[in-house]
């Protein structure tokens, strides 16, 4: 594993050196008014190679970290195994008797549910695997604050810093201060679903892993839907994405709570290094400590071409294990749901997403088995309750391209 990571790092370094050489040649031709179409195509190809090797490096590092993690004793394992066996019987044969029996046992603390509730809860370990997989696949889950609840409601009080304060002498009277201003915010909740299908013949095959199949089937469906919702979802029967909140150009002390501050680029189809610097220092210092960039792959490819006033590239590749690539000293999260660099688009964001955005998971993924609707296939209607909200509108800044 270590050798594979090292090889990926070497590939990134080699590709970036080639990228810099080709881009410098492109810039020189542009100054002379010469055509650069061939170099643009070459840069696109190298960009793809850099991104591919970066992705490989991150996956290898995550796998290395996971395999090095020691196993832990899980309390209630006997009950969990019992439920897992009963759930597999239900999945393979549609036999609910073992699950119903567990439901009536007084010693079990598991919330298995029933068909009247819309199916059965998946085993705890499978539910954890689904959550872990989504964290790996959904960029917003990896960088945001994620909480899990057993109830359907969640509200957070946010201090608007309205409490007055001041200085007094040692023996002077202490005047009363004004009470702090608090705002209650709640996530926009929705139910995400997938409906994978499989033949009964495969279910009858003892070598067919139902858990692995179900995990692979729903991970892509859930991941794609969640990434879009957490980024720009409208909040109607789904989480509200941070880019769907209102925006204003005013600074933090003058802007209404719940509005993001946006900075407007001078062009409709390009950004400059100076504009990125303005975005970074538009964020207060306490947020910059945990800040990162967020943009899509096309924007990253464009950003790699930018230089500072000394001719140094603003983007620097990761040439060390465990360290991400950096843009002006901050890591980048590649989010496919971010818009491209185009007129009026919110193409680049920068901030502390763990403080800025909160994802709420209602505990438990539920499955309803349906062998009738689409014979000879058996459908497994899988649902999960998820919410999302902008928690601190001062923690994220947006760079919006000029309107055309």
Question: Could you report the per-residue pLDDT of 280-295, keeping only the tens digit for each?
Answer: 999 999 999 999 999 9
Query: What gap in Å lies between CA 74 and CA 100, rounded to an integer?
Result: 24
Among 236-250, 292-306, 339-353, 357-371, the minimum mean pLDDT is found in 357-371
pLDDT of 110 reads 41
Query: How far apart, in whole angstroms, are the C-alpha atoms of residue 293 and residue 312?
Result: 19
Asked if residue 197 has pLDDT above 90, the reply is: yes
Task: Judge contact between 328 and 280, C-beta under 8 A.
Answer: yes
Question: In this structure, are residues 348 and 291 in contact, taking their beta carbons and an 8 Å threshold?
Answer: no
In this predicted structure, the answer to whether residue 260 has a pLDDT above a threshold of 70 is yes
Q: Counting beta carbons within 10 angstroms of the beta carbon of residue 1, is it exposed (0 to 12), middle (13 to 18) or buried (19 or more)?
A: exposed
Share of the chain above pLDDT 70, in %: 88
Residue 278 or 58, more confident: 278
Query: Residue 199 is encoded by which pair of tokens?
Result: 């033949």
Statement: residue 114 has pLDDT above 50 = no
DSSP alpha helix (H) spans, 205-294: 210-232, 273-281, 285-288
Q: Distance between CA atoms of 308 and 170, rounded to whole angstroms?
A: 52
Q: What share of the chain is helix, strand, coil (3-state, %, to 5)?
A: 40, 20, 40
The per-residue pLDDT for 165 is 65
pTM of this structure:
0.83
What span, in angstroms and rounded, lies between the C-alpha atoms of 143 and 130? 17
Region of 76 on the Ramachandran plot (φ > 0 left; ψ -120 to 50 alpha; else beta): left
| Percent of the chain clearing pLDDT 90 (strictly above) | 51
Mean pLDDT over the full length of the chain? 86
What confidence score (pLDDT) does residue 193 get? 92
State yes or no: pLDDT of 144 exceeds 90. yes
Q: What mean pLDDT is predicted for residues 110-122?
A: 58
Q: Return all residues near 363 (Cβ < 8 A) that are at least 6 apart.
A: 127, 148, 149, 150
């Amino acid at each position: 594993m270590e050798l594979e990571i090292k090889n990926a790092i070497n590939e990134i370094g080699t590709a970036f050196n080639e990228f810099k050489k080709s881009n410098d040649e492109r810039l020189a031709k542009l100054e002379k008014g010469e055509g650069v179409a061939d170099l643009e195509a070459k840069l696109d190809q190298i960009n793809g190679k850099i991104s591919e090797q970066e992705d490989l490096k991150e996956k290898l590092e995550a796998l290395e970290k996971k395999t090095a993690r020691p196993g832990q004793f899980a309390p209630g394992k006997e009950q969990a195994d019992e439920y897992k066996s009963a759930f597999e019987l239900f999945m393979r044969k549609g036999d609910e008797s073992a699950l119903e029996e567990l439901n009536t046992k007084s010693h079990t603390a598991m919330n298995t549910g029933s068909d009247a509730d819309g199916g059965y809860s998946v085993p705890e370990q499978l539910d954890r695997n689904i959550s872990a997989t989504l964290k790996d696949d959904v960029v917003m889950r990896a960088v945001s604050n994620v909480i899990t609840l057993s109830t359907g409601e969640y509200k957070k009080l946010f201090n608007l810093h309205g409490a007055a304060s001041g200085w007094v002498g040692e023996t002077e009277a202490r005047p009363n201060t004004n009470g702090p201003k608090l705002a209650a915010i709640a996530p926009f909740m929705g139910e995400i679903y997938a409906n994978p299908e499989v033949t009964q013949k495969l279910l009858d095959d003892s070598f067919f892993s139902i858990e692995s199949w179900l995990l692979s089937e729903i991970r892509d469906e859930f991941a794609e839907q969640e990434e879009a919702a957490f980024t720009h979802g409208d909040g109607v029967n789904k989480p509200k994405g941070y880019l769907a909140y209102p925006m204003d150009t005013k600074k933090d002390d003058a802007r209404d709570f719940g509005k993001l501050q946006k900075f407007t680029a001078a062009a409709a189809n390009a950004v400059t290094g100076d504009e990125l610097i303005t975005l970074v220092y538009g964020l207060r210092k306490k947020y910059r400590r945990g800040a990162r960039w967020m943009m899509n792959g096309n924007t990253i490819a464009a950003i790699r071409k930018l230089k500072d006033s000394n001719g140094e590239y603003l983007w620097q590749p990761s040439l060390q294990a465990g360290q991400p690539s950096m843009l002006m000293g901050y890591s980048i999260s590649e989010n496919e749901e971010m818009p491209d660099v185009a007129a009026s688009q919110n193409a680049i964001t920068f901030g502390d997403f763990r403080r800025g955005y909160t994802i709420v998971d209602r505990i438990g993924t539920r499955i309803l088995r349906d062998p009738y609707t689409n014979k000879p296939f058996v459908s497994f209607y899988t649902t999960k309750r998820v919410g999302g909200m902008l928690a601190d509108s001062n923690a994220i800044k947006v760079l919006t391209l000029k309107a055309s």
